[in-house]
A and B are shown apart, each in its own frame.
Chain A
Amino acid sequence: MLRRQFLSLAVSTSLLLAGVAGSASAQMAEAITEPVTISFYNYNLASAGIGREATLELIAKFEEANPNVKVEPIGAPSNEVLSRVQADMVAGLDVDVAQLVFRDLIYAAEELGAQPLEDVAGDELAKHALGFVPAGLALGEVDGKTYGLAYVFSTPVMFINRDLFKQAGLDPDQPPRTWEEVKTAGKAIAEKTGKHGFFPGAYGPTDGTFVYQSIVMSNGGGKVRDGNTLTFADKDQADAVAMLRDLMDSGAHARIDVGAHMDTFQSGNLGMFLYTSAILNRMESAAQGNFELGLAPMPSFGEKPTAPTNSGSAVFMFSQDPVKQRAAWELMKFLTSDEAYTIITSKIGYLPLRPGIVNDERYLKGWLEQNPKYRANLEQLDRLTPNVAFGGPNYRQVENMMKDAMTEAVFGSGDPRQVLKAAQEQAQPLMPAN
Chain B
Amino acid sequence: MTTSPNTRRFAAHLVMIGLSALAIFPVYWMVQTSFRPESEVFSTALWPATPTLENYRRVIEVMPIFGILWNTVLMAAATTAAQVVTGLLAAWALVRWRFPGGRLAHSLIALSWLVPFQVVMIPNYVLATRLGLLDTIAGLVVPNAAAAFAVLVLYNAMRGFPREVVEAARMDGAGSLRTLIEVVIPNLRAPIASVSILCFISAWNEYFWPLLLIRKIENSVVQIGLQFFMSQEGNDWGLLMAAATLASLPILLIYLVLQRQVVESFMKSGIR
Contact = CB atoms under 8 A, between A and B. Distances in A.
Nearest to A208: B232
B20 interface: no
Contact of A48 (B119, B134, B236): B236
Interface of B: 38-39, 41-42, 62-63, 116, 118-119, 121-122, 125-126, 129-130, 134, 208, 211-212, 215, 217, 227-237, 239
A276 B234 CA distance: 11
Contacts of A11: 122
A414 interface: no
Contacts of A90: 122, 125-126
A288 B229 CA distance: 20
A78 B231 contact: yes
Nearest to B135: A74
Contacts of B130: 91-92
A220 B239 CA distance: 44
Contacts of B217: 75
29 contacts: A6-B118, A7-B118, A10-B121, A11-B122, A43-B231, A47-B229, A47-B230, A49-B62, A51-B233, A75-B215, A79-B232, A87-B122, A87-B125, A87-B212, A88-B129, A90-B125, A90-B126, A91-B125, A91-B126, A91-B130, A92-B130, A93-B134, A206-B232, A262-B234, A263-B234, A263-B235, A268-B42, A278-B233, A286-B38
A369 to B, nearest CB: 25
A291 to B, nearest CB: 10
Given A11-B122, A46-B227, A93-B129, A282 B233 contact: yes
A47 B118 contact: no
A288 B39 contact: yes
Most buried by B among A46, A47, A74, A268: A47
A92 B129 contact: yes
Contacts of A84: 212
B23 to A, nearest CB: 22
Interface string A264-285: 0011100000001011001001
A282 B230 CA distance: 12
B124 to A, nearest CB: 10
A48 B129 contact: no
A77 B231 contact: yes
A267 B42 contact: yes
Nearest to B117: A3
Given A48-B229, A75-B215, 20 more contacts: A6-B118, A14-B122, A43-B231, A51-B231, A76-B211, A77-B227, A77-B231, A78-B231, A83-B212, A88-B129, A90-B126, A92-B129, A93-B129, A207-B232, A263-B42, A266-B234, A267-B42, A268-B42, A278-B233, A286-B42
Interface residues of A, number: 43
Contacts of B215: 74-75
B10 to A, nearest CB: 38
B122 to A, nearest CB: 5
Nearest to B211: A80
B50 to A, nearest CB: 11
A289 B39 contact: yes
Contact of B228 (A48, A74, A268): A48
Nearest to B39: A289
Contacts of B232: 43, 78-79, 206-207
Nearest to B240: A48
A80 to B, nearest CB: 6
A121 to B, nearest CB: 28
Contacts of B118: 3, 6-7, 10
Contact of A91 (B38, B129, B237): B129
Contacts of A276: 233
Most buried by B among A91, A93, A207, A285: A91
A228 interface: no
A401 to B, nearest CB: 21
A262 B130 CA distance: 42
A270 B36 CA distance: 22
A77 B63 CA distance: 16
A271 B130 CA distance: 54
A434 B23 CA distance: 55
B42 to A, nearest CB: 3
A295 to B, nearest CB: 16
Contacts of B211: 76, 80
A207 B63 CA distance: 26
Contacts of A290: 39, 42
A260 to B, nearest CB: 11
Contacts of B119: 10
Contacts of A14: 122
A267 B41 CA distance: 8
Interface string A12-56: 001000000000000000000000000000010011110100000
B133 to A, nearest CB: 11
B236 A49 contact: yes
B39 A46 contact: no
A36 to B, nearest CB: 19
List 7 A-B pairs, minimum CB-CB distance, nearest first: A267-B42, A47-B231, A91-B129, A289-B39, A48-B62, A91-B126, A282-B234
A314 B126 CA distance: 27
Nearest to B38: A285
Nearest to A83: B212
Question: Among B38, B230, B232, which residue has the most Cβ atoms of chain A within 10 A?
Answer: B232
A24 B255 CA distance: 57
Nearest to B37: A289
A266 B39 CA distance: 9
B63 A10 contact: no
